[in-house]
Amino acid sequence: MRNQVKFQGVKLILFLFIGVFALSACTIDINWPEGMNVGTDSQEESGVEIEGETSSETESTNPEESGLCGNNECDEDRDSCCMDCGCDEGLFCSEDNICKEVFQFKPLPLEATMLFQNEEKVSPIMSTIKPMMITFGIAPKTATIISEKEMGGVSRPSIYGNKVVFHEFESSSPIVKMYDTITKQISEIPYEGRAETPNVGAGVIVWTDYSRGFADNSDIYYYNFSENQQGYVSPRNDYQSGAKTFGQAVIWSEQVDNTGGRALYLLWLPSMEETRIFYKKNRIINDFEIWGASVVYSVTDCSDMSNCFSELRHYDIAKKEDKVLLTTAKEDIYSVSIWDNKISYIAGGDNQSLYSYDLDSKLTDKLTSVVSEKYDTATYMDMVVWADKRDGDYEIYLYDLAKSEEKRLTDNNKDDRYPDIYDKNVVFKNGNMNIELIEIN
């Protein structure tokens, strides 16, 4: 009896040994469905490393899965898929599956530091600006042609202090250049990338940049030649454009939905805090500008074509408050500009008028009695400049708010557009597509 029990026990042990061996042999060839949790222990807990390579036989039987972005495989000939391949140090994988620079400002190249090392560091919010006097009836001094290129070769200019910036096409690529109104010299910004439509502040230039992402996409780039810093203002590159800068802030517009809707953003540099100032579906942002702690902008809503309206709005950076200053029915508000408490804007349909709004008194004044096509306002203290087509082609005009006087600055048979003003200097893109400067007496 004991021998029989012993024999049965030996058979049982032998049977279990053969079963375990067979089971382990079978599991080697099992391809579990992706995502299935087999057993209670994870691979990391068990300490077993499982090969993730797919055999050539599997690849040949599933050709449709080969080379797809998101299949957890990094093909050598497809290293642009950061979802599978990851990114190098200092880059992150964006939502559109492109490696982009981590949001941080970098030092400028040495040659740039040497080029701009004598730049005056100014805090525009705290700066004291000497008042200027303009005598009307005396013609302006001889105009200075800053940049002379073939048609379409330059952008609209921007001026702050004694610096004028613009982009100029060279070898089919736009290059940012800076003109000094004191030395009369032009410097090329040492940047290897596609930079367009620059805007200048105190020691800072911002522009629309096409150096990363898709060819038709754009970022906002920040270039501080006084503090020796540069970088993108946001890790996103969602069709950002229209950058403006003043003091410690940068503003821009950005596409936020697949219908082309855009939002207005602010980056406050001291804290690196980003704020979405405005976005509403069906509201189109027409224009925006910044001065000190004020951002002014206009929006239009034509979701009901029989009841279109526009709003002039103001955002207080210090208080983080956004409010509507005024609303117009069936008239667009655009070409807004600001200096201190004075906002200039144009409103109307085919024939527009120039207006001024005072942030303190909350009063609106109509500046021009002539109804005509008008665009591109810029404001400096009590001076407003704009482009006006009252005589058949666009000419540059100036209005003195303190004296309630208007002055025509250009007179020719070509379109002069995109004026900007600082102190006694007015810059614009003339009818020959050159950057021109007029010094007001």
DSSP codes joined into one string, 96-143: TS-EEE-S--BPPPHHHHHHTTTPPP--TTT---------TTSPPPPP
The answer to whether 310 touches 326, Cβ cutoff 8 Å, is: no
Q: What is the model's pLDDT at position 142? A: 60
Q: What is the model's pLDDT at position 72? A: 72
Q: Can you read off the two tokens belonging to residue 150?
A: 């073939």
Is 0.85 surpassed by the pTM of this model? Answer: no
Of 156, 178, 264, the C-alpha closest to 220 is 264
Residue type at position 68: L
Owner of token pair 């079963």: 19
Domain with CATH 2.120.10.30 in the chain: 110-151+221-439
Residue 112 has pLDDT above 70, yes or no: no
Q: What is the pLDDT of residues 402-437, one digit of tens each?
A: 999 999 999 999 999 999 999 999 999 998 889 999
Q: What is the pLDDT of residues 357-400, one digit of tens each?
A: 999 999 999 999 888 999 999 999 999 999 999 999 999 999 99
* pLDDT mean over 255-263: 85
Residue 219 has pLDDT above 50, yes or no: yes
Q: What is the model's pLDDT at position 59? A: 37
Q: What is the model's pLDDT at position 161? A: 95
Q: What is the model's pLDDT at position 130? A: 30
pLDDT band at 225 (very low <50, low <70, confident <90, very high): confident
Q: What is the pLDDT of residues 229-246, one digit of tens each?
A: 888 888 776 789 999 999
The CATH class that applies to domain 110-151+221-439 reads mainly beta
Q: What is the pLDDT of residues 300-333, one digit of tens each?
A: 999 888 889 999 999 999 999 999 999 998 789 9
Q: What is the model's pLDDT at position 28? A: 37
Owner of token pair 């497809």: 78
Residue 11 has pLDDT above 60, yes or no: no
More confident position, 59 or 342: 342
Owner of token pair 């007179």: 411
Of 408, 365, 369, 364, the C-alpha closest to 387 is 408
Q: What is the model's pLDDT at position 132? A: 30
Q: What is the model's pLDDT at position 338? A: 98
Owner of token pair 């150096």: 211
The answer to whether 181 touches 192, Cβ cutoff 8 Å, is: no
The answer to whether 338 touches 325, Cβ cutoff 8 Å, is: no
* pLDDT mean over 176-181: 93
pLDDT band at 32 (very low <50, low <70, confident <90, very high): very low
| Alpha helices for 47-94 (secondary structure H) | 56-61, 82-85
Q: What is the model's pLDDT at position 50? A: 33
Q: What is the model's pLDDT at position 43? A: 37
pLDDT band at 53 (very low <50, low <70, confident <90, very high): very low
Q: What is the model's pLDDT at position 369? A: 80
- Other beta carbons within 10 angstroms of residue 21's beta carbon come to 10
The phi and psi torsions of 24 (rounded to 5 degrees) equal -65, -35
